[in-house]
Structure 1
Amino acid sequence: MSKHAASGRRRAETTAAPLRPRTAARSTAAPSAGRRRAEPVRRPLGGSAQKFAITAAASGLVLTVALPTTAAAVDPVLPPEATAAPAPVSADPNATLEFDRAALTSKFDPDAKLQGLTVAGTDVTPAAAKGTLATPLDSELVETSSFGYRVSPITGTAGELHTGQDFAATCGTEVTAAASGTVKSAGWHPYGGGNRVVIDHGNGVETTYNHLSAISVSVGDELERGHLVGASGTTGASTGCHLHFEVMVNGTHVDPLGWL
């Protein structure tokens, strides 16, 4: 090797600066004037009624996505007159108020209900039979002796079945049919009923009118509800003027009050 080459090699070795390792201090040092560090992207956060829009262009189309805001809703401010209490409303106390009813009416037809009853012995309940028969007296009914077992007012025997309902009525008071039907019998009753009328209403239902002072119908007559049957009296096994009224279902006596 020549002298000059050796000399040049030594100079290169002595002038080369040693490499320094990267340290945390170096990485956090200010950048040199010749290099610019990338600034972090700062996105706005939140805001009153603020929306974020992300817009992307792809194939000539623009897509916008709106993100909902988390801002709280603010109650609107109402004018004072909107929150004030309403003024009281008054009306003339002598004014006449009229209301129009709907054109829907109903009329209770007791005869139709009576004919529609399914009678099976004495199993007809008062709830089903109630109101199917009219009162046999035009005057206010005054109940005296009820249906059921009692002490006989004539013989004094206890446990006698009173087969009907007694109503107080002066002799000669008009007695009317409790429902439409056919007169089954009209005349003297040999078992204490005196002058007696029996009306067949169909479906096994019959009514009887006892102790009459007069009879105004005949067997076979077709009667309407409220038709005159006769006049109250005290004929037969009776202790005074009254009407003994009976209801029978398939030949069995039942409490008349459950049908009136």
Structure 2
Amino acid sequence: MSKHVASGRRRAETTAAPVRPRAAAGTTGRRRAEPVRRPLGGSAQKFAITAAASGLVLTVALPTTAAAVDPLPAPEATAAPAPVSADPNATLEFDRAALTSKFDPDAKLQGLSVAGSDVIPAAAKGTLATPLDSELVQTSAFGYRVSPITGAAGELHTGQDFAAACGTEVSAAAAGKVKSAGWHAYGGGNRVVVDHGNGVETTYNHLSAISVSVGDEVQRGDLVGASGTTGASTGCHLHFEVLVNGTPVDPLGWL
């Protein structure tokens, strides 16, 4: 009986699987890690992975928004213009366009800011016309001088004297109304005063004749008289004055 038991033990030892020794670190309670399987993101991702693994080079063609431009057509050949011919005896004339000016000296005169006799010369310049048609020749200036009548020094010459033969036409320096026309008791002889408004007046002295009357409306350039040597005068000439609010100023600043 003991032999039978022993033989049975041998048979059991031959059929049992050998046991492998475990590592020194304990593995009690641990399970072998299983690989995580995650789904791929579609066929495109699968293709990208496959291409990367195989070393393929991918070329991506992007759509373009630029419109196709047709080449410009070549310009058509044109015939050269026919030469222009003219009669060699023809006369050519060229008319030059007339130049006009919108400057209105009378309007500028009325627009002056007059305060006493203080008027900016640049503002007054050109507002009055010359009282003689000929070129003005100054014989005695505005300001203090020795009197040619009495010889006294320090006399205020209240206007400009211009050379003019007796009988030379004298015209209004601007549009206005005749304020005075007659004899002047203080040396002016035959004298005309024209009121231009805005506190501005002009006077024409030593006239040999007067052509206007008090109250007449005159325009720039209208005849007011003729030059002479009446009153306190030493010879034929025109004594021309400009008064601003009654105060005489140099006429040259206004012509």
Q: Are 1:46 and 1:71, in contact at CA under 8 Å, matched by a contact in 2?
A: no
Query: Could you state the TM-score of these two structures normalised by the residue count of structure 1?
Result: 0.62
Q: Are 1:198 and 1:209, in contact at CA under 8 Å, matched by a contact in 2?
A: yes
The structure that has the greater radius of gyration is 2
State the identity as a percent.
90
Which is worse superposed, 113-122 or 92-101? 92-101
Shift of 1:140: 1.2
Shift of 1:126: 1.2
Query: Aligned pair in 2 of structure 1 residues 50, 158: CA closer, same or farther (>3 Å)?
Result: farther
Unaligned runs of 5+ in 2: none
Query: Aligned pair in 2 of structure 1 residues 67, 165: CA closer, same or farther (>3 Å)?
Result: farther
Shift of 1:40: 32
Query: Aligned pair in 2 of structure 1 residues 163, 72: CA closer, same or farther (>3 Å)?
Result: farther
Describe the SS at the equivalent of 1:56. Answer: helix
Distance 1:246 1:48 in 2: 110
Distance 2:137 2:254 in 1: 16
Q: Are 1:172 and 1:213, in contact at CA under 8 Å, matched by a contact in 2?
A: yes
Deviation by residue 1:25-52 (Cα, 9 ceiling, x = unmatched): 9xxxxxx999999999999999999999
Q: Are 1:173 and 1:232, in contact at CA under 8 Å, matched by a contact in 2?
A: yes
> How many residues in Structure 1 have an aligned counterpart in Structure 2?
254
Query: Aligned pair in 2 of structure 1 residues 134, 101: CA closer, same or farther (>3 Å)?
Result: same
Shift of 1:57: 12
Aligned: 1:184 with 2:179: yes
Distance 1:156 1:24 in 2: 149
Residue aligning to 1:28: none
Which is worse superposed, 76-85 or 161-170? 76-85
Distance 1:24 1:8 in 2: 34
Distance 1:73 1:173 in 2: 88
Distance 2:252 2:215 in 1: 27
Shift of 1:101: 9.8
Query: Aligned pair in 2 of structure 1 residues 73, 104: CA closer, same or farther (>3 Å)?
Result: farther
Residue aligning to 1:62: 57
Shift of 1:234: 0.1
Query: Could you state the TM-score of these two structures normalised by the residue count of structure 2?
Result: 0.64
Describe the SS at the equivalent of 1:12. Answer: helix
Describe the SS at the equivalent of 1:199. Answer: strand
Shift of 1:106: 3.9
Query: Aligned pair in 2 of structure 1 residues 166, 103: CA closer, same or farther (>3 Å)?
Result: closer
Q: Are 1:110 and 1:131, in contact at CA under 8 Å, matched by a contact in 2?
A: yes
Unaligned runs of 5+ in 1: 26-31
Query: Aligned pair in 2 of structure 1 residues 2, 122: CA closer, same or farther (>3 Å)?
Result: farther
Q: Are 1:55 and 1:62, in contact at CA under 8 Å, matched by a contact in 2?
A: no
Q: Are 1:213 and 1:235, in contact at CA under 8 Å, matched by a contact in 2?
A: yes
Deviation by residue 1:187-244 (Cα, 9 ceiling, x = unmatched): 0000000000000000000000000000000000000000000000000000000000
Query: Aligned pair in 2 of structure 1 residues 46, 254: CA closer, same or farther (>3 Å)?
Result: farther
Q: Are 1:211 and 1:236, in contact at CA under 8 Å, matched by a contact in 2?
A: yes
- Cα RMSD of the aligned pairs, angstroms, is 11.5
